[in-house]
Every structure is written in structure tokens, then in C-alpha cells.
Structure 1
Amino acid sequence: MKLWLFGLYGIVATTAVAGDRAVKKGITDTTGLVSSLPVFKDLERYSPLNFDQFGGHEIRALDRNLYSELFSHWEENQHFDYRILKELEEDLKDIKAKKGTALNCGSGVLEELKPVSTLEDEGLSLEQIVERIEKDILEFKDDETVAVNVASTEPVIPYDQEVHGSLEGFERAIKENRKDRISASMIYAYVSLKNGIPYGNFTPSAGSGIPALKELAEKNGVPHAGNDGKTGETLVKTTLAPMFAYRNLKVLGWMGYNILGDLDGKVLSHKQNKESKVVSKDKVVSKILGYEPYTITEINYFPSLQDNKTAFDFIHYQGFLGTKMKFYFTWDAVDAIVAAPLVLDIARFLNFAKKKGVKGVVKELAFFFKSPMDTDEYNTHKQFETLVNWYRSLK
């Protein structure tokens, strides 16, 4: 089994690869991996935990390798034991990225990743960009290859029925070089699904979520899932909000204030890039409760935190006899450490789904996402039960 990562040199991707190799070498255990829970113990028969090979696309530091990028992230964050880092050097130094695209990725990506090297810099048309991405992936893929998008968050591209509404329209737009309506995540998803590769969108970017690409997945019999990995504050929200519903307590307001550093924080400090992330985080409470309390969701860059993501949440709620009360919580985690294992989980479950003949949106993987496709179920407890039941029904 192989894993192709869009955004290969980012801290989430490099930590995911490091984690996979550390487990393989027996220098760490599987803590944090949902797919390694006892209830999924037979998954190893279909989707082994340790991947045979890693590859990916990137738009920066193409003269380096995965180990050098991981080391740079480690110097800033010290997000795991240094002894593990050193033991992985030989395993990671030969993993190198191919040049990717930053089409419509916004000022946040292009300014904060400087210097960048993209396919657009070569003056390629949209059709030529697709051909280059496809060439790279076809040279890498086998029958058990999965692709996951862990690149930086893109700005929202306005929905265009003519381009996004059908596969015919989307492919026509590629031929007509409609760069104004197609983003990098759409290109990555298109190439993956076109070539029978299951695709997971770990970002809030459009990815495979547009109707045209859902149509392609169904046509080619390929499973895909997304959007936006649920790793921290939103995981707590979707776990805690059902408690208020179960107890018939009325949530009057929910404020979530997030601060983070590192590249993710830099990119999200740009308004355009932040927009889709805020929407993804904000809507979950009303989806679970069935009504819309007053909400504030804010994300701000805080440089000294590096990859430590901290969230302060305040919940104002009403109980018996109309009495108003308050609940507070703080979430503090190393973002790459809570995100990286989920990338591996999603890839394993998508490969399992392909082997079992599942095609199109795998809504049963909603447990892993803030904005899961094709489902209105946001309750973490029910999502996990759905995941387990789906797995048992197929194995």
C-alpha cells in the first residue's frame, strides 16, 4: 500500500510519515490511531498500517527531502522525542516531493511559503498542469495507492454551475484554461479519481466536494471522503454539544477562540484563506443541536505558539426554571500530533473501502471530518458508531 500526500513537506504530512515509520521500526506504539483500536483489529488484513512507499506534491523547498523538512519542523516545535527523529533519518531522506500547483491557493499560501516553485511558474496551461500532476502520480501508483490532501487551506472559490456542476463542464473548463474557477485541491482530486485512486480531503478546501468530481468518483467506482480533519477544538465541540441536547439544556451562545502559530497560523491570518476554515468550525454546533444559538468562532495567529494550537471555549446555557449557567473549556494540543495519525487512518479506511467495492462519497468516514460530505450527522458519538457498523458490515 502506497500513500501520496499533497503538501508532502508540511508538518502534518512529515509527522504522519515519521509516525508510520516509527511504528514500523517498533520505536513507538499505535496510540492516537483510530484504525488500531481493537474493534478494527482485522483491518490489517486489508490495509496494513505500515505503508510501502510515500510520495507527494509540494510547492516549496524542492531541493530538499522529507527528512530535512521534518527536521526543520522539529527544530521549531520539538513535537516528539529527538531520539525518534534521529532513528528515522535513513528511512526518510530518500522521500522527495514533485512540483505541485498553487492555483487559486490565495495570498496566504504564496506569501507565507516563500520561496515557492509551482507549475504555474512554468507558464503551463491548466491542461498541461493536469498532465504533469497525472504523470507524477501514475509513475508512483499501484493498485493500493491512496491520496490525501494535507496542503494549506485555500480561499473559497464561488460555485459555478457551468464548471463545477458536472464532469463534462469541469473537463471542458480544463480544456478552455478556466483558471479562475479551478483550484489546486480540485486538480489533485480530479487526477486522483480519474486514475482510480481513493482521495481524502483533510482540508476545508473544495477538493472532491464539488458535484463534478462526485460524479467522476461514481463513474470510476472510486471512494473518497472529506472535508477538513477533525482534530482539536471541533472534536471537543462535536463530542460535548450532544450532552446539552441529551439533557435538554438550551445553549444560548457558544464562543470559540483559537490561537495558533506555525505555517498554518500564518496562512490563516489571511482573510481569504481563513474564511472556509471558520465556516467549517462554526456550523457544527447548530447542526448537532437542531437550532442556531449565538456563535463566535475566531482564529488568530500567535507566533510563539508554533504548532501548539490552543482554543478557549465559552458556552452560555439555560437550564431548569430558566436559570442561565456557564461552561468553559480549554483545548491545548500539538496540532501535527493530533492530525497526523488521522491522515493514516483515513488512508487505511479508504483503501479498505476500495477493496470492498465502495464507490463515491464514503459518508461513514464522517467521524474524521469537521464538514463531512453527504451527511447531516455531526455528533461524534453517533459518527463513531456509524464507522464501526460500516466496517463490520463490510469485513
Structure 2
Amino acid sequence: MKLWLFGIYGIVGTTAIAGNKAIEKGISEKTGLVSELPDFEGLANFSPLSFDEIGGHDIRNIESNLYEELFKHWEENQHFDYRILKQLKEDLEKIKAKKGTALNCGEGVLEELKPIESLENENLSLEEIVDKLEKDLLEFKDEETVAINVASTEPTIEYDENIHGNIENFEKAIKENKKEKFTASMLYAYVCLKNKIPYANFTPSIGSNIQALKQLAEENNVPHAGNDGKTGETLVKTTLAPMFAYRNLKVLGWMGYNILGDLDGKVLAHKENKESKIVSKDKVIGKILGYYPYTITEINFFPSLKDNKTAFDFIHYEGFLGTKMKFYFTWDAIDAIVAAPLVIDIARFLNFAKKKGQKGVIKELAFFFKSPMETDIYNTHTQYQMLVEWFNKLKNEG
């Protein structure tokens, strides 16, 4: 099994790979991996925990290697034991990124690129960008390759039914070089699904979440999933909100205030990049409760936190006899540490899905996403049960 990451040099991608290598070498435990829970016994028979080869696209420092990029993240965050990093040096130095694209990724991303002159791919036509991405993938892929987008959040783009609604017009627009209608994540998803590589979108960006690419996935019998990995505050929200529903308590308002640093924080400090993230985080409460209380969702850049994301949540609710009460919680976590194992989990489950003949959106992977496709189930408890039942049903077939 091979793994390809879009945004491979970011802190989530580098940490996921380091963690996978550390487990493979027996120098780290499997804590944090959903796919290693007893409920998924037998998964290793279809999707082993270790990857035969790892590669990816990135838009910065292509002359570098994965060890050098992870070391930069480690110097900023010191997010795991340095002794582990030292033991992985030789393995990680062998992994090098190919040049990706930053097409319509917004000022938040471009601001980081300008000083290092990484925009040469954006001067190519859409066909040329696609051909280059496809060439890199085809040189790497085998029958058990999975690709995951862990790149920075893109701005939203206006949906165009004529172009985004079917694959024929989508491909025609590529040939006509209608750049304003495409984003990097859409192109990444397209080259994967076109070449029958299972794809997951771990970001709030569009990715494969348009009808044209869903059609392509169905036609090519390839599974895909997304969007936006559920790793922190939203994980708590979707686990806690059902409690209010189960107890018939009325949520009057829910405020979530998030602060973070690092590149993710810099990108999300730009309004256009932030918008899709806020939508992804905000809508889950109403989906679970069945009604929409007053909500505030804020994300702000706080440089000194680096990758240590912190969220403060305030819930105002009404109980018996109309009495109003309050609930507060604080979430404090290293984002890469809570996100990285899910990248490995998703890759394993998508490879399993492909081996079991699954195609199109795998809605049963909703457990891993803030904005899961093709389902209105946002309750974490229900999502987990869906995942377990789906896995066991397929495992026992054929």
C-alpha cells in the first residue's frame, strides 16, 4: 500500500508520516489510531498499518526533504519526543515532494509563497498543470495507492452548475483554460479519481465535493471521502451536542472561539480562506439538534501558540421549568498530533473500501469529517456505529 499526500510538507503530513514510521520501527505506540481499535480487527489483512512508499505534492521548498521540513516544524512546536525524530532521520530524508499547485488558494497561501518564488506552476495552463500532476502520480501509483489532501484551506469558489455539474463540461473547461472555475484541491481530486486512486479531502476545501467529480468516481469505480478532518473542538461539539438532544434540553446559543498559530493560523487569518472553515465548524450543531440555535464561531490567529490550538466554548441552554443554565469547556491540543493518526486511518479504510469494490462517496467514513459528504448524520456516536457496522459487513463478505 502506498500513500500520496497533497501538502506533504505541512505539519500534519510530516507528523503523520513520522508517526507511521515510528510505529513501524516499534518506537511508538498505536495510541490515537481509530483503525487499531478492537472493533476493526482484521483490517490489517486488507490494509496494513505500514506503507510501502510515501510521496506527495507541495508548493514550497521542493529542493528539501521530509526530514528537513519536519525538523522545522519540530523546532517551532517540539510536539513529540526528539529522540523519535532522530531515529527516523534516515528514513524521512528519502521522502521528497513534487511541485504542486496553488491555483486559487487565496492570499493566505500566496503570502507564504511569494518570498520563495514558488508560483511557477500557476503560469501554466490548466491542461499543463493537470498533465504535470498526473505524470507525478502515475510514476508513483500502484494498485494500492491512496491520496489525501492535507494542504492549507482554500477560499470558497462559486459553484457553476454548467461546469461543476458534470464531468464532460468539467474536462472541457480545463481544455478551455477557465482557471477562475478551478482550485488546487479540485485538480488534485480530479487527477486521482481519473486514475482510479482513492481520494480523501482532509480540508474544508472543495476537493471532490462537486457533482462532476462524484460522477467521475462512480464511473471509474473509485471510492472517495471528505471533507475537513474532525480533530478538535468540532469533535467535542459533535460528541457533546447529542447529550442535550438525548436529555431534551434546549440549546439557546453556542459560542466557539478558536485561537491558533503556525501556518494554518496565518492562512485562516485571511477572511477568504477562513470562510469555508467557519461554515464547516458552525453547521454541525443545528444538524445534530434538528434546529438552529444562535451560534458564534470565531477563528483567530495567535502567533505564539504555534500548532497548539485552543478553543473556548460557551453553551447557553434551557431546562425544566424554563430555567436557563450554562455549560463551558476548553479544548487544548497540538493540532498535528490529533490530526495525523486520522490521516493514516482514512487511508487504510479507503484502501479497504476499494478492495471491497466500493465506489463513489463512502459516507460511512463520516466519523472522520466535520462536513461529511452524502449524509446528514453528524452525531459522533452514530457515526462511529455506522463505521463499525460498515466495516464488519464488508469484512465478512466474499
TM-score (norm 1): 0.99
Q: State the identity %.
A: 76
Q: Quote the offset at 1:178 in angstroms.
A: 0.5
Equivalent in the alignment of 1:126 = 126
Mapping 1:25-44, distance limit 5 Å:
25-44=25-44
Rate the CA distance shift 1:116–1:289 in 2: closer, same or farther, 3 A: farther
Equivalent in the alignment of 1:210 = 210
Mapping 1:295-306, distance limit 5 Å:
295-306=295-306
Distance 1:110 1:60 in 2: 11
Equivalent in the alignment of 2:260 = 260
Distance 2:112 2:249 in 1: 43
Equivalent in the alignment of 1:53 = 53
Q: Quote the offset at 1:119 in angstroms.
A: 4.8
Equivalent in the alignment of 1:111 = 111
Distance 2:124 2:73 in 1: 31
Counterpart residue type for residue 230 of structure 1: K
Mapping 1:204-353, distance limit 5 Å:
204-353=204-353
Q: Is the 8 A contact 1:35 1:345 kept in 2?
A: yes
Unpaired segments of 5 or more residues in structure 2? Answer: none
Distance 1:321 1:73 in 2: 52
Unpaired segments of 5 or more residues in structure 1? Answer: none
Distance 2:267 2:117 in 1: 14
Q: Quote the offset at 1:118 in angstroms.
A: 3.7
Corresponding pairs, count: 394
SS of 2:60 mapped into structure 1: coil
Mapping 1:92-171, distance limit 5 Å:
92-113=92-113, 114-121=115-122, 123-171=123-171
Distance 1:63 1:100 in 2: 13
Distance 2:22 2:52 in 1: 13
SS of 2:13 mapped into structure 1: helix
SS of 2:181 mapped into structure 1: coil
Distance 1:374 1:71 in 2: 38
Equivalent in the alignment of 2:196 = 196
Deviation by residue 1:88-119 (Cα, 9 ceiling, x = unmatched) = 00010010000000000000001034425245
Q: Is the 8 A contact 1:238 1:380 kept in 2?
A: yes
Rate the CA distance shift 1:116–1:364 in 2: closer, same or farther, 3 A: farther
Counterpart residue type for residue 259 of structure 1: I
Q: Is the 8 A contact 1:222 1:360 kept in 2?
A: yes
Q: Quote the offset at 1:154 in angstroms.
A: 0.2
Deviation by residue 1:54-91 (Cα, 9 ceiling, x = unmatched) = 10001001111000000000000000000001000001
TM-score (norm 2): 0.98
2:8 is aligned with 1:8: yes
SS of 1:207 mapped into structure 2: coil
Distance 1:277 1:10 in 2: 18
Counterpart residue type for residue 116 of structure 2: P
Counterpart residue type for residue 381 of structure 1: H
Deviation by residue 1:110-136 (Cα, 9 ceiling, x = unmatched) = 103442524534x31100110000000
Distance 1:239 1:112 in 2: 35
